[in-house]
Structure 1
Amino acid sequence: MFRPLIVYIGLRYTRAKRRTRFISFITLTSVLGIALGVTALITVLSVMNGFEAELRERILGMTAHATVTGGEGSLRDWRSLEPMLQMQPSVLAWAPYVEGQVMLTSDRRVSGAMLRGVLVDYEPKVSEVAQRITKGRLDQLKPGEFGMIMGEELAQALGLIPGDQVTVITPQMNATPAGIMPRLKRFTLTGTFKVGMYEYDRNLALIHMDDAAKLFRMEDAVSGLRLKLDDLFNAPKLTRDLAQVLGRGYYVSDWTRAHSNFFKAVQTEKSVMFIILLLIVAVAAFNIVSTLVMVVTDKRADIAILRTQGMTPAEVMGVFMVLGTVIGAFGTLVGCVGGIALALNVETLVPMIEKAFGVQFMPGDVYYISQLPSKLVWADVYQIAGMAFLLSLLATIYPAWQASRIKPAEELRYE
């Protein structure tokens, strides 16, 4: 039967006598080890959550939540779909686009790029490209003027600044008396944008949709519609429902298909990091084993006396499990408090450290994200705390079982 005496004795053993100061020191290191491990886990996972959220925001700021295309890779009479899209509460906005792979040349420099034709009135409703423009304006893309806005890195690779000319070479061919020649068209660079993602800053260029339709010989057709959804995390289900509404002849895709490998890689990295850092907590938790073994060795005579007074082996085992559980619980609590405080203030503390020591952990000319983001997820905190406490509890079983096997007659023979 459980008695409060078990808890009392277990808590009493956490306070050391003068001759057992070393045991208390070992106990303190066990508590600090668990606390540091839990703090590191919460902080690192919060930073990884912050990076994931930041990258997701940047990717989805330029990528459509969903796209609608025709069966042949093009969409004719896209305006006929607008009434059906307006009736869908999950679809907040849409924008037509014409897209194709091209080669860009300027002053003997050549680079491949994705050329996307957009409508100035529609595109800002589904992407953040207008807010990401660093030079020029999106409304400078006018039909017939053949203006272009490209990513900053792509402009640097081609040695271009706004006002320069760039030649676009398309895969389509022209039949001339001299033979088959590629289609060429000169554009004027009117601006640049910077998203902070290599995929866009180095490989994407925007022109007006009418100019793109002429360049790719699309006539009145478009490549498809880019959609903005009210719940981007529920995009797979919403796109399936939308496909049923639009019927056959239309193909609806969502952003999770285009970037699924990237986010799966981030999740895998997060899981591996959790396991690696959990080993730190495991090592600290198993320090409890050595602490309890030393306590059991020191208290063998006390245990024998308790046994002669009627305490059962199960109750003796409970005493030392209480002792180990208190150590683990206190270390976990301290670690959670420290980890939460650190995770919530990473974005403030890191600049202070950089300023104090004159260093920069993430230079802006090397990394796209120059500040260390942090996002505390309470589910991670609960999981970490639960795992740390469970490891601490498991670490108490063997020493407590050894204490319960002590035989009073043998221990008190020479007392």
Structure 2
Amino acid sequence: MILSRHERMIAKRYLLPGKGERFIFVVAAISFVAVMLGVMALVVVMSVMNGFRADLFDKIVGLNGHAVMQGYSGRLPDWREILEESQELDGVVSATPLIEQPLMASYSGRVEGVLARGMRVEDIRSNELINSNIVAGDMAQLTPGSNNVAIGSRLATALGAVTGGQISLISPQGRTTPFGTVPRIVSYDVAAIFEIGIYDFDKAFVLMPMEDAQTLLMLDDAVGMIEFDTVDPENVGEILEPLARNYAGQGVLTDWREMNTQLFDALAVERVVMFWVLSLIILVAVFNILSSLIMLVRAKTRDIAILRTMGASRRSMMKIFLTIGLTTSGLGTLAGLVLGFVLLRYRQGVVNVVQTVTGQNLWDPSIRFITELPARTDPFEVLGIVALAMGSAFLFTLYPAFKAASTDPVQVLRYE
């Protein structure tokens, strides 16, 4: 929409308060603030929701892979054969044998439920998610037969464990005696403490070499499961379908969506609901723009009539009032984007300040899964938010612009 010089001059004049028009200006200012807050809220909330989902996906997949084949009765005796066949499939990046078993752990009289995980030493060394989040100790000390383990930071806090200390793992699968089964208790040295950033993992994981896990759980040469990473997580089922078919009698294949269905479905629903709920702020703002323009048209009826008698066309009047409404919305949108990006940049500091002032824990990792507030901005979503604000303003501005353009100068000026 291109404006002529006199149209720009008139639009600029009407944007500023005139004598007796301060109330109209206040309503327009409120509209500007409402658009700004609506755009800011949408940008911040949608970015946090995206970051929350992305962080969860990256960290959960970093530990559990895109899919897992779990053996019936917790055993996969032919795991080497499955590994070799998986390496021949197009789209499979890696396959990692694992042993996982819920156990009890004790340290200095404290007892906690844990999830013992056995991995090959080379897989432990190559896992960036674990090795880049070591807070104490050295993962290089985890070697077969060393009786060394690594534990999560929150488990260490709950037990009071430190590196160099000794933790005891209690397995119900012990030796059989005339009086029943005696639980198996094995002591290990804490060689390292890691903090992945997901509460459930940091609170429960005990990591050890696979050979030590096989000895502890009396699995001989078997493993419990095989974890797969693929080139396309969204199509992991199609990529691994031959394995699921060929080894259906030995184990069941579960992908990342099935393992975390409730969590990711809840996030998807919450994301959609939050978008539409926060969009109501923008709709309220454009209603304010509508009301302020209607009042402006009524206040400027005489001016409009004079302009029409001086040769201004209906199209020209439409453009002037559309420009006024879109300018208010555009400035509010721009301010909202700037404020939103600033809040995202300092989001954790803002959360910490609010927690300090209120005395409330706003980001409890035991509920939120992740220890810090994440954010990931999607440029296409930002464009959608801008389009929503500007498109709504355009539609709501059409009516007062049409009323201004349809003003009959004869009727207005006949008694002047």
Shorter-chain TM-score range? 0.7 to 0.9
Number of the residue aligned with 1:242: 240
Give 1:209 deviation, angstroms: 1.7
CA distance in 1, matches of 2:113, 2:373: 32
- Listed as ranges, the matches of 1:365-380 within 5 Å are 373-380=374-381
User: Take 1:408 and 1:414, find their aligned partners in 2: how far apart are those partners?
Assistant: 11
Instruction: Letter of the 1:50 partner, please give it.
Output: G
Instruction: State the partner residue of 2:212.
Output: 211
Alignment of 1:382-393 (within 5 A): 382-393=383-394
**Change beyond 3 A, Cα 1:247–1:377:** same
Once structures 1 and 2 are overlaid, which stretch shifts more, 187-196 or 300-309?
300-309
- Pairwise CA distance, 1:73: 4.1
**Contact 2:144 2:209 survives alignment (8 Å):** yes
Q: Is this contact kept in 1: 2:174–2:184, CA < 8 A? A: no
Is 1:11 aligned to residue 14 of structure 2? no
SS of structure 2 residue aligned to 1:335: helix
Percentage identity across paired residues of the two chains = 31
> What is the CA–CA distance in structure 1 between the aligned matches of 2:229 and 2:126, rounded to whole Å?
8
Give the C-alpha shift of residue 385 in structure 1: 0.3
Task: Write out aligned runs for 1:24-173 (5 A).
Answer: 24-70=25-71, 73-126=74-127, 128-172=129-173
Match of 2:186 in 1: 186
Q: Say if 1:359 and 1:371 are closer, same or farther in 2 by CA, change over 3 A.
A: farther
Q: Secondary structure at the match of 2:121?
A: coil
Instruction: Give 1:71 deviation, angstroms.
Output: 5.0
Taking a change above 3 Å as real, the CA distance of residues 237 and 9 of structure 1, as seen in their structure-2 partners, is same
1: CA distance, partners of 2:171 / 2:143: 20
Note if 1:268 corresponds to 2:269.
yes
SS at match of 2:291: helix
Between the aligned partners of 1:72 and 1:167, the Cα distance in structure 2 is 25
- Between the aligned partners of 1:160 and 1:333, the Cα distance in structure 2 is 51
Residue 112 (structure 1) shift: 1.6
- Matched residue SS, 2:95: strand
In structure 2, relative to structure 1, the CA distance for the partners of 1:33 and 1:204 (3 Å cut) is same
Alignment partner of 1:221: what SS?
coil
Answering whether residue 228 of structure 2 is matched by residue 227 of structure 1, we say yes
After superposing the two structures, state which structure 1 stretch, 154-163 or 97-106, moved more: 154-163
TM-score of the aligned structures, taking structure 2 as reference length: 0.80
Q: Structure 2 vs 1, CA of residues 258 and 370 (structure 1 numbering), >3 Å: closer, same or farther?
A: closer
- Structure 1 residues 329, 149: CA separation in 2 closer, same or farther (over 3 Å shift)? closer
User: Counterparts of 2:283 and 2:291 in 1: how far apart (Å)?
Assistant: 13
C-alpha deviation, 1:176, in angstroms: 1.1
Mapped to 2, the partners of 1:276 and 1:198 lie a distance apart of 29
Alpha-carbon offset, residue 203 of structure 1: 1.2
Name structure 1 gaps, 5 residues minimum: none
Q: Which residue of 1 aligns with 2:289?
A: 288
Partners of 1:126 and 1:226 within 8 A in 2:
no
Task: String of CA shifts for 1:325-353, please: whole Å, max 9, x gaps.
Answer: 3332343344345545x267437x948x9
Taking a change above 3 Å as real, the CA distance of residues 364 and 392 of structure 1, as seen in their structure-2 partners, is: closer
Structure 1, 289-298 or 3-12: larger mean CA deviation: 3-12
Structure 2 residue matching 1:261: 3-state secondary structure: helix
Instruction: Specify the alignment match of 1:255 in structure 2.
Output: 256
Secondary structure of the residue aligned to 1:202 is: helix
TM-score for the superposition, normalised by structure 1: 0.81
Unmatched tracts of structure 2, length 5 or more:
none
Alignment CA distance shift 1:46-1:10 (3 Å): farther
Structure 2 CA distance for partners of 1:77 and 1:128, relative to 1, 3 Å: same
Does the 8 Å CA contact 1:46/1:343 hold for their aligned counterparts? Answer: no
Change over 3 Å in CA distance of 1:186–1:74 after alignment to 2:
closer
Superposition deviation, residue 313 in structure 1: 7.1
